[in-house]
Chains A and B, each alone.
Chain A
């Protein structure tokens, strides 16, 4: 990561865990609202229960900030209600998520080192 993209990505960090989870849910595939709620709940092992109201408030910010966009994706017609709205990550969204992951990995590394030191004492 270098050049002009670097500044805006950093401005979004650190991400709130919930935001990170929403981005993560969208990283795999494009999803509609309820699918995001379900995915977040599953990925967090049931710890994060996102309700409709808060979900859309976060989505609104993510849309406004350009991390997520509405998609025109539709699954096979027989599985889908045509009125559903799907969301997907933008390039920027992916970059922010990657940067956050990197930041967290760095943190984890530091904690591990600290643990090693303590264990060694």
Chain B
């Protein structure tokens, strides 16, 4: 935290003082505090915590005294301070005693800074972690989507309709007030500035009216702009309009070169509008030829979004959509399967957007909730120990006439105040760390722009703090004043009663250990799953490979010949860059989450009746791809420069496809058909490569020579270098731009980075749960140690007597250890049961690890038991080694 931020916080603390006081001294105090802060910083974190603790306590204490205390009278005050205080009258009796309690508590905290710092920080840690995670849950899961009547918005077919036919037919549904289709698109923008490729969407013209968002400038699309040849229009996002056009409102009506065509800017969306998918910067119309919207199966990717009629339930809409889907399926049963009909069901847009993340977030919230509970158990124990030590004090107070309820209330005030301080610090720390947390989340986290510390988060933190204060405060407050307090005046707190008296503390130990076991087991499973994921062989060697996407603008590269010439030139020039070992290119980057699945058939090998059709990914590559990615060639030959335009079409299949289609036979020479029209001869078999990510099973895949076929005009280059490829980025980009300056280069990444992103979600979850697990372990250990130190300390006298009577130190040690480990063992057993019940929630987040993974379930309790044993051993040994004389005289 910067000095200025710290002083701002201090200034806020000064609000506890009355206004005239602040007017007179606030500036000077901030200055002095700044100096003190400077000094404390050089002394380390302990001095800093101490400084902040006193800053908070003093502000509350002196602020209250200045507000409600007697006017600072000349002379009496310094001469006889107590007299001044006794004259103090503010408000009625209740307020007065409450204020007294507060002042007394604050004075007590000031006298025991060690206790106060530990308790405050422990609570702040718990509240802070909860606040931060809850902010994310609130923003991503709980907040309504930023659209008009968002609960009416649903997606159909899990978002993907497969055809324009469906898109048009589904509009007949009377339960839907509007249906809009949209798909992602990336287009190159050239002219006026650097050529760049930007992300946007194709939408049906009614898109914004279904979402009910009016434009910021200009207009949205009209229905006739959804017809071929009338669609040369574009709507810009506010951010893109600001960045690229400097917020110039006169751009509406002008034309820009976007992708293959020049388009007229007709509108700009408002700044607060959040697109369905993050990062969309423009919208262009989807065109449907009203005379022919025949099926184009295979080009999945048009998503369907609908708004329900206000009075229609989700169930009614589901039934109607299903009827329409079944009708479509009758027309073309080979395309529209039963599974497709089932997937038609409308799903709330919120669920589609938030998806699987929701579960992970709730799990994280549960985990920090556990951390908080453990923290509470620790504080409860601290308070209990403190309460025991103060029994004499309470006894004196009751002897002097204080009611027991008065003493209990005093104690409760203390814990409430402790909660308030710890909670405030935690809320502050949580609020500050939210942005860090959001930054650390993998990019798959949706709706990050909705994450903020708002009133709801604030209320949550407050509620958590209040509940926590009650949890850790109530029992110790009742306990400390229980029993015959007068007894404690006679005996100085020594105990020979054994464990009965420490039942509550042993319960605390069991609870802490139990919660820690659940959390650490969960963390262990996630870490193991992440480790498994890391162990997956991607099927290629990502080291020293750089990748970048080249998107030759279709407006300039109109023919395939031009594109081929361009890519051949780029290949040749890049090979000349120093340090480049090989250069390849592919239409779909491995592990980047895209591929095309197409039906394939093998000549003379018809599938038996009733078996489902077989799908394979089609990949378009250049000959250098195999060597660059280091994919093993298993048999036959790989694509080479002779496989070019005009030569017979050939393909290489992966191991999975070879096994699926030919079993143990040799596929070389076999004739295969894909895309319904592309016939090719198999010339080789290569090793499997995880195209979609390490956790997705390898699918059948066929490689084609990009130079032989028509393919999407964008290719990813893959470049293997002899050294760290990031050093060559500039030289490589320059070499490509030397061929054509107008070709946008995007997504420049190392292949290692691409691979690591595929496990980012898992890594993040493992990291966060691991951190919480570690925190639980540390807090739990501190708790066990604290309780054991106290319990054994109470028995020092008894142990002294036993030793004096001839007991062996070893025996004493063993007895203490056994006694200490009973609640630990109970905690471990309870924790294991809890873990078995709760790790089921993790099941679909785990990769190749079962929720009852034996190693994790065996190892975690063992580690925890060992750590707890160590925490028990230290105080037990100390007690067993005391000199009997010292322990007997220790009164």
Contacts and interface: CB of A to CB of B under 8 A. Distances in A.
Interface of A: 11-16, 19, 32-34, 37-38, 51-57, 59-61, 64-65, 81, 83-85
B29 A11 contact: no
Given A11-B75, A61-B72, A64-B74, A84 B31 contact: yes
B31 A37 contact: no
A59 B72 CA distance: 12
Contact of B72 (A14, A34, A55, A64): A64
Given A32-B28, A34-B36, A53-B61, 19 more contacts: A12-B75, A19-B78, A33-B31, A33-B35, A34-B39, A51-B36, A52-B32, A52-B33, A53-B29, A53-B54, A53-B62, A54-B62, A56-B29, A61-B77, A61-B78, A65-B78, A81-B31, A83-B31, A85-B27
23 contacts: A11-B79, A13-B79, A15-B78, A16-B78, A16-B81, A32-B31, A33-B28, A34-B35, A51-B51, A51-B54, A51-B55, A52-B33, A53-B29, A53-B54, A53-B55, A55-B32, A56-B25, A56-B29, A56-B32, A57-B62, A60-B24, A85-B27, A85-B28
Contact of B27 (A51, A60, A83): A83
B21 A34 contact: no
Contacts of B75: 11-12, 65
Interface in B1-44: 21, 24-25, 27-29, 31-33, 35-36, 39
B29 A52 contact: yes
Contacts of B29: 33, 52-53, 56
Contacts of B55: 51-53
CB-CB nearest 3 A-B residue pairs = A53-B58, A33-B32, A34-B35
A120 B88 CA distance: 50
Interface of B: 21, 24-25, 27-29, 31-33, 35-36, 39, 51, 54-55, 58-59, 61-62, 66, 72, 74-75, 77-79, 81
Nearest to B76: A11
A12 B58 CA distance: 25
A91 to B, nearest CB: 17
B11 to A, nearest CB: 12
A56 B55 CA distance: 12
A53 B61 CA distance: 9
Contact of A51 (B21, B28, B58): B58
A33 B25 CA distance: 11
Contacts of A83: 27, 31
A61 B76 CA distance: 11
Contacts of B81: 16
A19 B31 CA distance: 21
Nearest to A70: B28
A83 B29 CA distance: 12
Contact of A53 (B35, B59, B74): B59
A52 B21 CA distance: 14
A12 B33 CA distance: 29
B78 A12 contact: yes
Contact of B31 (A13, A14, A85): A85
Nearest to A67: B78
Contacts of A15: 78
A7 to B, nearest CB: 10
Contacts of A34: 31-32, 35-36, 39
A32 B21 CA distance: 18
B372 to A, nearest CB: 30
Nearest to A34: B35
B652 to A, nearest CB: 75
Contacts of B62: 53-54, 57
A100 to B, nearest CB: 11
B786 to A, nearest CB: 27
A87 B265 CA distance: 68
Contacts of A85: 27-28, 31
A12 B450 CA distance: 61
A46 B62 CA distance: 23
B32 A32 contact: yes
Nearest to B75: A11
Nearest to B38: A34
A60 B39 CA distance: 24
Contacts of B21: 60
Highest count of chain A CB atoms <10 Å: which of B32, B61, B66, B77: B32
B20 to A, nearest CB: 10
Contacts of B78: 12, 15-16, 19, 61, 65
A33 B32 CA distance: 5
A89 B349 CA distance: 73
A19 B78 CA distance: 9
Contacts of B28: 32-33, 56, 84-85
A52 B36 contact: yes
Contacts of A64: 72, 74
A47 B781 CA distance: 34
A113 B847 CA distance: 86
A72 B24 CA distance: 16
Nearest to B25: A56
Contacts of A32: 28, 31-32
A60 B74 contact: no
B70 to A, nearest CB: 12
B10 to A, nearest CB: 8
Contacts of A52: 29, 32-33, 36, 55, 58
Contacts of B77: 61
A37 B29 CA distance: 12
A33 B33 CA distance: 9
Given A32-B32, A85-B31, A60 B25 contact: yes
A34 B39 CA distance: 10
B58 to A, nearest CB: 3
Contacts of B54: 51, 53
A55 to B, nearest CB: 7
B79 A12 contact: yes
Nearest to B65: A57
Contacts of A84: 28, 31
A20 to B, nearest CB: 11
A85 B32 CA distance: 9
B55 to A, nearest CB: 7
Nearest to A86: B28
A100 B663 CA distance: 105
